[in-house]
Amino acid sequence: MKLPKKRYYSIGEVCKYCRVEPYTLRYWESRIADLEPVRLSSNRRHYTLKMIDTILCLRELIIEKKFTIDGAASAMKLKVGKESSVDSLLNRITSIIEEDS
C-alpha cells in the first residue's frame, strides 16, 4: 500500500499502512514520547510522515525483532543523525552490551 501525499493521515490510514491495530498504536503513543499525534479541531488523531516512519521503526523493533516497548524506546533514543536503519541501531546496541560484559 502506498500512502497519498498529504499533510496529515488518520489513525485508520496509518494502521492499515503500518499493519498495526489502533489499540496497539494508541498504547505506543502512551509510552513513546516522540509519538504524539496532532489533534485538529475535530479532536481526532492525525499523523505526519515523520510519525509514520517512527511507527514503522517501532513495529520492526517490537513485533519483528521482539524488543520490549522500553527497549524499543531506548533504541529510538540512540538514533543519532542520519543513522535511521534498525540494523545499524541493533549493531550499536550490541556493541554497547559487549563493552559492558
Classify residue 13: in a domain, yes or no.
Answer: yes
Number of domains in the chain: 1
Is 38 strand, coil or helix? strand
Q: Is residue 3 part of a domain?
A: no
CA nearest 61: which of 82, 41, 85, 37?
A: 85
Q: What local confidence, expressed as pLDDT, does residue 30 receive?
A: 92
Whether 21 is covered by a domain: the verdict is yes
54, 28 contact by CB (below 8 A): no
Q: What is the pTM of this model?
A: 0.73
For residues 1, 28, 52, 36, the Cα torsion angle rounded to the nearest 10 degrees is 140
Residue 92: inside a domain, yes or no? Answer: yes
* Tens-digit pLDDT profile for residues 19-51: 999 999 999 999 888 788 999 888 899 999 989
Q: Is residue 20 part of a domain?
A: yes
Backbone angles phi, psi at 89, to 5 degrees: -65, -45
Report the pLDDT averaged over residues 71-94.
Answer: 69
18 is a domain residue: yes
Q: How many CA atoms lie within 13 A of 13 on its CB side?
A: 17
Which CATH number belongs to the domain containing residue 14 in this structure?
Answer: 1.10.1660.10
Beta bridge partners of 39: 45
Range of the domain at 31: 9-100
Does 1 fall in a domain?
A: no
In this predicted structure, what is the pLDDT of residue 81?
Answer: 41
Dmax (CA) for the chain in angstroms is 52
